[in-house]
Amino acid sequence: MGRYASHLVRHADAVTAVDVAADHIDLELGDARPTLIVVAASDAFRDQADALHGALMRRYPDALLAGAVIPGGVIGVGEEVEDHPALSVLAAVLPPGAARVAVLDDADDLPADAAVVTVFADPFTCDADRLAEAADLAGASLVGGFTGGYAPGDARLLATDGVHERGAVAIALDLPGVDVRVSQGARPVGPDLVVTAAEGNVVLELAGKPAAEQLHTVLGALAPADLELARAGLMAGIVVDENRPEYDVGDFLIRGLLGVASDTGGLAIAAEPRVGQTLRFHVRDADGADADLRRVLSGAEAGAALLFACNGRGTRMFAEPHHDARVVAETLGVPLAGAFCQGELGPVAGRNHVHAFTATVVTLPGG
C-alpha cells in the first residue's frame, strides 16, 4: 500500500539539513519517488522557513508537502530533540489520491471524504474545537496538534504552495489501513463516581454527595506515592461512551481539575460534564504514561508513523530522554516523524477532542 523512509538531522542550516535528510531518504527508497513529504522542524528554523520550503520542493518537486516549524521540538526514529536545531522528515510513496494537502483558514475548509485528517495548527488562529466538530460530522478522525508558536504571528506552517503564518495545514488520508492511537498517559485512582449535579464546568455532586467531599475521600484513601502525584496535578476523567458495561483506561476523556468552588464545594474542571456521566479521578506519572502508550500501540501494524506528543512529556515527564520515540521504535519499528505540541488532537470513544499530555500516533499501512 505504501513505501516509507524517514530521517532526523541535527543541523542549524535549513538547506544543509534538507539535503542530508533527503540523501538518506533517497538511498532507502531507491528508484521510488515520494508522493508526500511530512516535515517537523525545530524553532531554530523559524527565520529560515522559506529556505526550508524551497529546499524541500527542490529535492521533491512532484511531492505534496505538509508540516511546520515547531517550538516544542521534533521526533524521529528512537530520538527526540527538544532544545537544539533539528529536522525530522518522513517521505511516503502512496497510491494516487491517497493523500491530499490543504491549507485551512477555518473549519469549513476541512477536507471531506477522508478517514483521517492530520493537522499542523497555529494555536492563535485555528479554532481546534470547531475543527473537531467538523471532523465528527464528516466521520473522520482528526489528529495532530498545535505547532504554530508561542505568540501571535509566530506560526510557520509548510504546505506544497508555500509557508503560511495562520490557520492550519492538513493532510487528508484516504488510505485503507490508516489508523490512529491516542495515549492520554493518565492512571485512574479511586472509584467511578456518577455526576449527580453540575452547572457549566463545575461538578456540584458526585454520587449524591458534594463533589469536594468525594474528592477528599478519594485523596484520603491514596497511598503516599499516589497522593504526592495527585498534589502535583490531579485530573478528572469523564467517560465519553456511557453504553459500555464497564470502563477501562482508554474510555475516559482526561481534563484538568481547575480548583474547588468555595461557595458551593463544587469542582471546576476543564470541561462541561453532564448529569449522569461517570467521572473518575486520574494522576499523571511516567510509569502510567509508559504503560498507556504501550497499551494503545499493542497489536498495531504499520509501515510508518507520525507522532504528536505533548511538550509536557519528553524530559519534563520521563527520567530518560527519547521515551515516546523509543516506545514507538520498540513496538512498531517503522519510519517515524513527529513533534512536541502545545495541545494535541485525537479521537476518544469515537469523537474528536483537543487534549493535553497525550501521545497521539497515526499509523500508515505498509506494502
Q: What is the pLDDT of residues 253-297, one digit of tens each?
A: 999 899 888 788 899 998 899 999 999 999 988 998 999 999 999
For the sheet with 336-341, list strands across it. Answer: 79-81, 74-76, 336-341, 304-310, 359-364, 179-183
pLDDT of residue 145 exceeding 70: yes
**Measured between alpha carbons, how far is residue 88 from residues 85, 110, 220, 273, 345 in Å?**
10, 25, 46, 39, 20
pLDDT, tens only, 309-337: 999 999 999 999 999 999 999 999 999 99
pLDDT of residue 241 exceeding 80: no
- Please report which confidence band the pLDDT of residue 245 belongs to, taking 50, 70 and 90 as the band edges: low
Q: Are strands 278-283 and 304-310 parallel, antiparallel or unpaired?
A: unpaired
Question: Quick one: CA torsion of 339, 343, 344, 347, rounded to 10 degrees?
Answer: 170
pLDDT reported for residue 82: 94
The proportion of the chain whose per-residue pLDDT surpasses 90, expressed as a percent, equals 82
196 vs 284, higher pLDDT:
196
pLDDT reported for residue 11: 96
pLDDT of residue 63 exceeding 90: yes
List Cβ<8 Å contacts ≥24 apart for 229-233.
Answer: 229/283, 229/284, 229/285, 230/189, 230/281, 230/283, 232/283, 232/284, 233/283, 233/284
Mean pLDDT of 116-133: 94
**Measured between alpha carbons, how far is residue 83 from residues 37, 72, 329, 333, 341 in Å?**
24, 8, 21, 25, 14
| Gap between the Cα atoms of 118 and 179, Å rounded | 11
For CA atoms 216, 230, 280, 135, give the dihedral sign.
positive
